[in-house]
Amino acid sequence: MEYYSNQINRLIEELARLPGIGAKSAQRLAFYLLNQPKDNVRQLAETIMDAREHICYCKECFTLTDRELCPICSSSQRDHSTIMVVENTRDLAAYEKTGKYDGVYHVLHGAISPMLGIGPGDIKLKELMTRLQQDISEVIIATNSSLEGETTAMYISKLIKPTGIKVSRIASGVPVGGDLECIDEVTLLRALEGRVEL
Ligand code: ZN
């Protein structure tokens, strides 16, 4: 027996596709939205569409941005010879929150995972190697300490080693399997400061 009309079911199904949203949360969100004034819902929908249409990759570091060059890459205050390699834009934001890192970033958009069939060609690795042809003094690998993150770190360090550029890995103060964005700023800072050369 169907409890809800088709359109309500469709809304619940669409919401349930979002990461971390189960069937119950999807129902709660659906009814919340349906009880909101139409203008509020329209504004939310338009904000989502606007973001989706205007957000692109920074042509330098590949973070998500609404400009050709993100604010970090276009800043003259940053040290453009130090690149921190992170898995995604949320990890970049976590390091930015510490306010203590003044280099630039490179966002891989994933990590190598043989199990999930994600190879080096599926993340922004070629793009990183291209950037290294500029005047770079250090690459800090700050991928997660998960199996995938470690595999990626090892792969990258092997690629970079022959270039003679200094490669370091953030300290293992970051708990194993830890998602970078869930870790507090002090721990992140300690991991960054205690990085070891590979
Ligand atoms: Zn950038």
Report d(CA 4, CA 178) in Å as an integer.
40
Say if 1 falls within a structural domain: no
Containing structural domain, residue 18: 6-54
Q: How far is CA 154 from the centre of its chain?
A: 19
Read off the pLDDT of residues 79-117 as tens digits, 9 standing for 90 and up: 999 999 999 999 999 899 888 899 999 999 999 998 889
Q: 90: CA distance to ligand 1 center in Å?
A: 14
For the chain, the domain total comes to: 2
User: For residue 29, is it within any domain?
Assistant: yes
Q: Is 51 exposed, middle or buried (0-12, 13-18, 19+ CB in 10 A)?
A: exposed
**φ/ψ of residue 106, rounded to 5:** -140, 120
Q: Could you tell me the distance, in angstroms and rounded to a whole number, from the CA of residue 147 to the centre of ligand 1?
A: 27
pLDDT score at 196: 80
Q: What is the CATH number of the domain that holds 176?
A: 3.40.1360.10
Q: Is residue 98 part of a domain?
A: yes
| Lowest-confidence pick of 26-35, 80-89, 103-112, 185-194 | 185-194
- Cα(35) to ligand 1 centroid in Å equals 40
Cβ proximity of 160 and 188 under 8 Å: no
For the entire predicted model, the pTM comes to 0.79
Using the mean position of ligand 1's atoms as its centre, give its distance from the Cα of residue 4 in Å.
46
Distance 57 CA to ligand 1 centre (A): 8
Residue 120 domain-assigned (yes or no): yes
80 or 194, higher pLDDT: 80
Q: pLDDT band for position 132 (50/70/90)?
A: very high
